Structures are given as structure tokens and as C-alpha cells.
């Protein structure tokens, strides 16, 4: 059984998707929030998942917060740490501590549009395809090895809200799949650091075409 700790800052809809997926061989050991009012804490508690708050406002520096957060995570000895709408930039030392077992989801087709305001940037750039990316976290922001991506069309008349909703629906599909692959021991790294998915035979690994597994 692989133990997973999920970090959230708000409602945690991607955390909900992972919990609802009931991934075989995975146990959600804890959900940790950096905000005491994070809505996802209630959902986790209702599913009998231990919840904890490490309030970033209670610490004098980013280093101090990250150290406290790492202590809270390590208390559960997780195999995987999942960032699910965790809105804090983590220090390099924290990221290195969980190297190879720290996943994030980003609402764009990386390497396009790293950082914030991705849907606005996509609309302003006039792209015809947008999407979401699950990747391993590295010290360089939004630059880690890509595990899986999903693409959506940018439609005439789209605004940020409509485009964001279309992307979010795909996030809820691909994040549980990435976690499942990790739990099943199917993720590896090719020369140069690109992620490989063992057992993929129906096309480019890491895309939702063909569809993600049931």
C-alpha cells in the first residue's frame, strides 16, 4: 500500500477527484492545508482522512514554514506528496527533499504559460489549444518532467471562466491517472529526464488520447 499526503490551499477539487478515484493500492494518509479556512478540509474529514493545518502566516519566513510543513508531511512517511491547488512557492530545499515523489498539476500545456493567470495568458496569446499538465516538481517553477497532459479547444467567445472550467474537468481526469501510474510503479525516467510510462502500447504515453485507463 502506497501512502499519499495531499497538500491544498482552497477547495481542493483535484484532491476530491483523487479521493473519489479510490485508486487500488493507495491510501490517503493525510490532507494538509496552509490555510485554516481551506474548504477541502471539510471534504477530507467527511471521508475520514486525517486533516492538518500548517498556517504559513504563523511562520516568520518561507524556510521556517517549509520546515514545519515537511515535519507534518514526514510524520506520515508518505511514498508520494501531491500538490492539489497548493498556492505556495516551495523552497529548493523542500523540493529536493521530495525529489521524484512530489507531483503538481498546472492549468496549461507546459512549457507554455507557466506561473499564474494561465487562462488569461492563453486567451491573450490567441492559442487554439489549451489544457493541463501533471508534472514532477523541480526547483525550477513549472519546469519539472511531464507525466500526463490533456488538451482542450479554445472556442470562439471563451472567457477565462469558461476556459478554466473546461480545463478543470480534464484536470480531474488526468491527476488521478498520474497518481495511479505512480502507485502502480509504472513511471520511470528516460535519458534526459523525460517521464516514461511502462506498459503504454497505444500511442504516446502521457496523453489522454487514447483515453485514460478505467
pLDDT digits (tens, 9 = 90+) for 103-131: 999 999 999 999 999 999 999 999 999 99
Terminal alpha carbon distance of the chain:
20
C-alpha distances (whole Å) from 171 to each of 5, 17, 64, 73, 212 are 18, 9, 31, 24, 12
Predicted confidence (pLDDT) per residue in 135-158, tens digit: 999 999 999 999 999 999 999 999
From the candidates 76, 106, 130, 172, which is the catalytic residue? 106
CA distances from 128 to 20, 124, 153 (A): 31, 11, 6
Q: State the pTM of this model.
A: 0.92
The SS3 of residue 61 is coil
45-55 pLDDT, tens digit each: 999 999 999 99
Alpha-carbon distance of 2 to 123, in angstroms, equals: 39
What CATH class does 2-197 carry?
Answer: alpha beta
Residue from 146, 164, 181, 8 nearest 86 by CA: 8
Digit-coded pLDDT (tens) for 168-189: 999 999 999 999 999 999 999 8
Q: Is 106 a catalytic residue?
A: yes
Amino acid at each position: 500500500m502506497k501512502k499519499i499526503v495531499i497538500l491544498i490551499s482552497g477547495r481542493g477539487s483535484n484532491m476530491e477527484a483523487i479521493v473519489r478515484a479510490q485508486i487500488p493500492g493507495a491510501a490517503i494518509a493525510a490532507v494538509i492545508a496552509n490555510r485554516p479556512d481551506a474548504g477541502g478540509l471539510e471534504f477530507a474529514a467527511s471521508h475520514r482522512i486525517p486533516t492538518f493545518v500548517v498556517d504559513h502566516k504563523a511562520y516568520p519566513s518561507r524556510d521556517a514554514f517549509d520546515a514545519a510543513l515537511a515535519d507534518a508531511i514526514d510524520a506520515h512517511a508518505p511514498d508520494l506528496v501531491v500538490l492539489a491547488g497548493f498556492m505556495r512557492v516551495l523552497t529548493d530545499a523542500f523540493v529536493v527533499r521530495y525529489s521524484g515523489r512530489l507531483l503538481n498539476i498546472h492549468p496549461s500545456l507546459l512549457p507554455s504559460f507557466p506561473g499564474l493567470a494561465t487562462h488569461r495568458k492563453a486567451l491573450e496569446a490567441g492559442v487554439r489549444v489549451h489544457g493541463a499538465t501533471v508534472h514532477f516538481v523541480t526547483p525550477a517553477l513549472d519546469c519539472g518532467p511531464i507525466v500526463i497532459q490533456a488538451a482542450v479547444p479554445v472556442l470562439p467567445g471563451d472567457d477565462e471562466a469558461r476556459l478554466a472550467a473546461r480545463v478543470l474537468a480534464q484536470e480531474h481526469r488526468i491527476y488521478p491517472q498520474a497518481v495511479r501510474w505512480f502507485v502502480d510503479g509504472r513511471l520511470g525516467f528516460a535519458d534526459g529526464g523525460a517521464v516514461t510510462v511502462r506498459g503504454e502500447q497505444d500511442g504516446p504515453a502521457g496523453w489522454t488520447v487514447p483515453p485514460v485507463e478505467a
